[in-house]
Amino acid sequence: MGQIQVLDDVTANQIAAGEVIERPYSVVKELIENALDAKAEQIDVHIEEGGITRIVVVDDGVGMAADDAVLCFSRYATSKLRQVEDLHRLHSFGFRGEALASIASVAKVRLLTRQSQDECGNQIRLEGGRIVAVEEMGSPLGTRIEVENLFFNVPARLKFLKTSRSESALIESVIRAAAMSKPHVGFSLRVDGAVKLDIRQAPKESGLENPRRFERAVTVLGEESRPYLYPFEAKTDLLQLSGYVVAPLVTRKDSRGIHLYVNHRAVEDKQLIQAIRVAYRTLLEVGRHPVCALNIEMDPALVDINVHPRKKEVRFSDASRVQSHVIRLLTDFLATTPWVKKQIERTYVLQKNEPRADFMMRDSAEPESYVPTTQAPFSLMGDIVSSAAFRATQIQSQKIVSHPSLDGNLHYADLRVIGQVDQTFLVLEGKNSMIVLDQHAAHERVVFQRLKDQVASKDIKSQPLLFPLQMSVSEEETAALLEHGEILMRYGFEVVVFGERQALIKSIPADFREQSCQEVIRDALHEIMSHGRADTLDDLTDHLCAQIACHSSIRAGQALQDEEIRALLLQLDKIDYGAHCPHGRPIIRAIPFGEIARWFHRS
């Protein structure tokens, strides 16, 4: 007998399940997409123990006939395709014909369905991919699928699942994403009998300003985005871009806040994410990502969605052209800066009989509405950036070098303080050099080192808040907080879940600014969600201590007294010195006196 054999259907289906059915949320995603393709207008999902024990998806779509109800569990059986040419103009969500077969191969499944023209419905029951019963049964219009004991016959897969709460959070995020892509469809979710989501339908022809559509965007992007959420719609000859963008006052540490859809299908595309970041460019701090939910609508013939088993990725026939169109449309909208009120105009009046240097400043009436300026802020910012780049080039041409060891064996306390420049930089004199110190970067390094030492000795200083701060959290963030909240305590944060999608910040690290705590906590939770258990992360301490230090340090633009400058220099001498702050910015620049003399043509 030869070595090559044709696999039996059960084995083949389980292999396919390894690609298509990764976790319980994968099951929910596939079943929801089938319901949407069946023209459902209401989809209800019930799960138990994170979907591991039971998943029920009920829709009011067109249903199936008896023969189709049996055939749908066969591999490569689909109603979405008839010939190979159909692959190039897909409008449906499902098309591979493997989802139901894969689900049935690793679970116990019950299907109940009825079409409008049938008086009686049909029930199909399967275990491990094998049909065990086919019978007629009373049923409402549409389809109900129950999936029980997921991975009961492949127990090794269960070891890779997270807690019930975490799995439930992933399922909720799938439903929110589907609700964003199909606003005219209602969705609900029950978790262990409790209602977690109840998203009502929006009228089919409603615009982005419709309150129900706006609320859907808030549920996807987060409650903190509500005051900064703006509808957006524009088109070119290639595509139409529409959805909601959030002002750069709300950002994320990673790209989780960017929700992308192509022809109303949720996708993950690095090139599109990069295009959106380019459009936001100078509006974002280094290392931050924007928050938005955008749908790209274009000719299906120009998009290949058959490139990923779970349909997460797409391929464009001309990806660079799509990118450039997205950048142009989004940049034009962001240039209007709808979140910025027009600045109050200032009128300067020279007073009579007073010295010419004395002015009185008065405010003119504030306009009733904001009118976008004709000049995009990006062009202005581009001039600033270009100017800064020119100055940086000039400085580099002067061969100014960084000296982490100062002048020989000098300590910071040995340097003579000349003064403060621009309320940002300290000018110091050493034996052979003039030294410029970035006060924020230097103090950040001091605070960072102190925090690391306190965390290592489990002696970090924390201060309770007189009035706890309320913070909105997503279901995934809630799960991370409940499972790993004690990790945050190690860094001085006491955060507790408070009601539905809310948390209370009760304590923060000493000397930490309250207005920054939500950003730092959210970044920490996302770090936990990205890497699993936080207490196994080697870089979590460095990341959190760097964030806390940044928001606890002396700020650029803050005036310092001589005694404060001297105290900072003494603190620098006490730490394990590094030439850069925790985020990689240089702390000092040293300019040799000889180099300064050459500026003035002196030998």
Q: Please, what are the domains in the chain? A: 9-199 (3.30.565.10), 203-392 (3.30.230.10), 398-443+555-599 (3.30.1540.20), 462-509+512-550 (3.30.1370.100)
The 10s digit of each residue's pLDDT in 118-134 is: 989 999 999 988 999 99
pLDDT-derived band at 94 (thresholds 50, 70, 90) equals low
Residue 102 confidence (pLDDT): 87
pLDDT-derived band at 13 (thresholds 50, 70, 90) equals low
Query: Measured between alpha carbons, how far is residue 214 from residues 207, 256, 421, 500, 533 in Å?
Result: 10, 20, 47, 20, 34
pLDDT, mean of residues 494-502: 85
pLDDT at 174 over 70: yes
Residue 158 confidence (pLDDT): 87
The 10s digit of each residue's pLDDT in 545-584 is: 887 888 778 877 788 888 888 888 888 877 755 567 777 7
Residue 310 confidence (pLDDT): 57
Query: Measured between alpha carbons, how far is residue 492 from residues 114, 267, 440, 489, 545 in Å?
Result: 57, 38, 22, 5, 10
pLDDT at 372 over 80: no
Share of the chain above pLDDT 70, in %: 78
Residue 198 confidence (pLDDT): 92
Closest of 76, 51, 351, 94 to residue 191, by C-alpha: 51
pLDDT at 403 over 50: no
Long-range Cβ contact pairs of 272-277 (< 8 A, separation 24 or more): 272/296, 272/322, 272/323, 272/326, 274/323, 275/322, 275/323, 275/324, 275/326, 275/327, 275/330, 276/326, 276/330
The 10s digit of each residue's pLDDT in 38-87 is: 999 999 999 999 999 999 999 999 999 988 888 888 876 665 555 555 55
Which comes out higher in pLDDT, residue 371 or 221? Answer: 221
pLDDT at 400 over 70: no
Residue 11 confidence (pLDDT): 63
pLDDT at 380 over 50: no
Residue recorded with tokens 């945050």: 488
pLDDT-derived band at 90 (thresholds 50, 70, 90) equals low
Share of the chain above pLDDT 90, in %: 30
Span of 225-229, 315-319, 324-328, 390-394 with lowest mean pLDDT: 390-394
Which comes out higher in pLDDT, residue 330 or 446? Answer: 330
Please tell me the distance from the alpha carbon of residue 481 to that of residue 488, in angstroms, as a whole number. Answer: 9
Closest of 541, 549, 558 to residue 581, by C-alpha: 549
pLDDT at 538 over 60: no
pLDDT, mean of residues 101-127: 93
pLDDT at 357 over 60: no
The 10s digit of each residue's pLDDT in 191-220 is: 999 999 999 999 888 889 999 999 999 988
pLDDT, mean of residues 477-491: 83
Residue 337 confidence (pLDDT): 85
Residue 326 confidence (pLDDT): 95
Span of 35-39, 376-380, 448-452 with lowest mean pLDDT: 376-380
pLDDT, mean of residues 587-596: 86
pLDDT-derived band at 452 (thresholds 50, 70, 90) equals confident
Please tell me the distance from the alpha carbon of residue 285 to that of residue 519, in angstroms, as a whole number. Answer: 13
pLDDT at 170 over 70: yes
